[in-house]
Amino acid sequence: MQFLRSKLFDLYLALWTGLFAPVLAGLWLCGSPERGVRLASRLWARGILAGLRWIVGLSYTERGLHNIPDEPCLIIANHQSTWETLAFLALFPDVAIVAKQELLGIPVFSWFLRKSPMILIDRESGSKAVRKMVDESRAALAQGRSVLIFPEGTRKPVSEPIAFKRGVELLYAKLDRVVLPVALNSGHFWGPDRPVKRGGTISVSYLDPIEPGLPGNEFTRRAEQLLETERQHSWPQAA
């Protein structure tokens, strides 16, 4: 039964995404205004989350909302699933996500990435990619948008310990902003190694903020420790 529900959701996702073709055309004719594009992307993401809830029985709960800073900040999150890539569009309106350029191959979603705009990085370009990430993150923060990065670089199995790729500590140092760590256990329900999406409740935990000014290695150690501790204690709530 869960297999059928998962496949039905895949069909729903394709149909829901297809419905946005006229929306994209309208926005394009209007000059692709950034606020309009971001509003449409939030609506699209909320529709996907609603479909997961109705069809698959997969919902989410947020913990530690009091930890979210009042001002735009740097958000770091562990990465277990496609779910958080979509959900953050609804959880943090106007967020600027640091994303890999390979995502530009996804129809419709790639248009949103370009026009929102998100911070698209070619990981093969080395120091050039880091400079681009820092410059565009600064620009987003100046516009009042928080910046989201997945420091692990790619989706990881739920059993794998948290380990950051190089670069996030430089972003932390250059932006000089409060950091909000966010821990998720989405991979238990919709993971890269799970062919079937499971029902249940994903936990989104906003952890204690990290103030700017720490040495890079100290920041990385503290952030990894916060996320790893939550990963070990965030057991799934199966449906």
**What domains lie within the chain, and their CATH numbers?**
2-238 (3.40.1130)
**In this predicted structure, what is the pLDDT of residue 32?**
82
**In this predicted structure, what is the pLDDT of residue 195?**
78
In three-state secondary structure terms, 152 is coil
- pLDDT for 47 beyond 90: yes
Question: 34 or 71: which carries more pLDDT confidence?
Answer: 71
CA distance 227 to 149: 14
Question: Are 129 and 121 contacting, i.e. CB atoms less than 8 angstroms apart?
Answer: yes
Between 17-26, 193-202, 211-220, the lowest mean confidence (pLDDT) is in 17-26
Q: Average per-residue pLDDT in the chain?
A: 89
- pLDDT for 239 beyond 60: no
The pLDDT tens digits for 151-176 are 998 899 888 999 998 889 999 999 99
Average pLDDT over residues 168-191: 94
- pLDDT for 115 beyond 90: no
Query: How buried is 39 (Cβ within 10 angstroms: 0-12 exposed, 13-18 middle, 19+ buried)?
Result: middle
CA distance 106 to 13: 13
Torsion from C-alpha of 185, 188, 193, 199, nearest 10 degrees: -130
Angle between the N-to-C axes of helices 21-29 and 34-51, in degrees from 0 to 180, rounded to the nearest 10: 170
User: Which is nearest to 120 in space by CA: 98, 105, 138, 135?
Assistant: 98
In three-state secondary structure terms, 33 is coil
Confidence of residue 200 (pLDDT cuts 50, 70, 90): very high
Question: Are 116 and 33 contacting, i.e. CB atoms less than 8 angstroms apart?
Answer: no
Question: Are 147 and 74 contacting, i.e. CB atoms less than 8 angstroms apart?
Answer: yes
Question: Are 183 and 223 contacting, i.e. CB atoms less than 8 angstroms apart?
Answer: no
**In this predicted structure, what is the pLDDT of residue 238?**
44
CA distance 39 to 24: 12
Instruction: Please state the separation of Cα 224 from the chain's center in Å.
Output: 17
Which token pair is 118? 């998100």
Out of 84-88, 116-120, 194-198, give the one with best mean pLDDT.
84-88
User: Strand 179-184 vs strand 147-149: parallel, antiparallel, or unpaired?
Assistant: unpaired
Half-sphere exposure of 200 (CA within 13 A, CB side): 16
Average pLDDT over residues 122-140: 84
Confidence of residue 237 (pLDDT cuts 50, 70, 90): very low
Average pLDDT over residues 80-84: 93
DSSP strands (E only) in 6-73: 58-63
Question: Are 185 and 80 contacting, i.e. CB atoms less than 8 angstroms apart?
Answer: yes
- pLDDT for 2 beyond 50: yes
